[in-house]
Amino acid sequence: METIWDPLRRKEVAATPEEQVRQWFIAAVLRDTVKVPMHMMMSEVGFRYGNKQYRADILVSDRSAKPLAVVECKRPDVEITAAVAEQAMRYNAVLDVRWIFLTNGRTTLIFKREGDRFVPAKVVPDYEGMLVG
């Protein structure tokens, strides 16, 4: 079995197509482009919504450890659809984030909370920008 290093979980994990997208997003997008400090990210974060157990692919926290953004990763052959967005919105009912990222490694959509709804972000924020907006 091929593995890939997850720096957030600090261990080798199975290099599934979805995991490869997750690791690319952690390193190339969140760390290198958005400049999120590594200690402000967690992967495979479990939580409950109602009586069901869920797992967020990546959770970004603000400086007070409050959830700031959730990232939903899909395999490259899975389209980013309304159902994927709805999945992230269910997570938000528990996590109460300001930002939602949806990616399959080919397409990435970013949404920003404005009031009680999420709207497409016009620019890719950096971490500092995410904290204030």
**What are the tens digits of pLDDT across the range 57-86?**
999 999 999 999 999 999 999 999 999 999
Of residues 61, 86, 62, the one with CA closest to residue 72: 86
Binning pLDDT at 50, 70 and 90, where does residue 89 land?
A: confident
Please say if the pLDDT value at position 7 is more than 90: yes
**Domain topology for 3-132:** tt1808, chain A (3.90.1570)
Please say if the pLDDT value at position 97 is more than 90: yes
**Annotated domain spans of the chain:** 3-132
DSSP assignment of 11-45, as one string?
Answer: EEEE--HHHHHHHHIIIIIIITTS---GGGEEEEE
Full-model pTM:
0.94
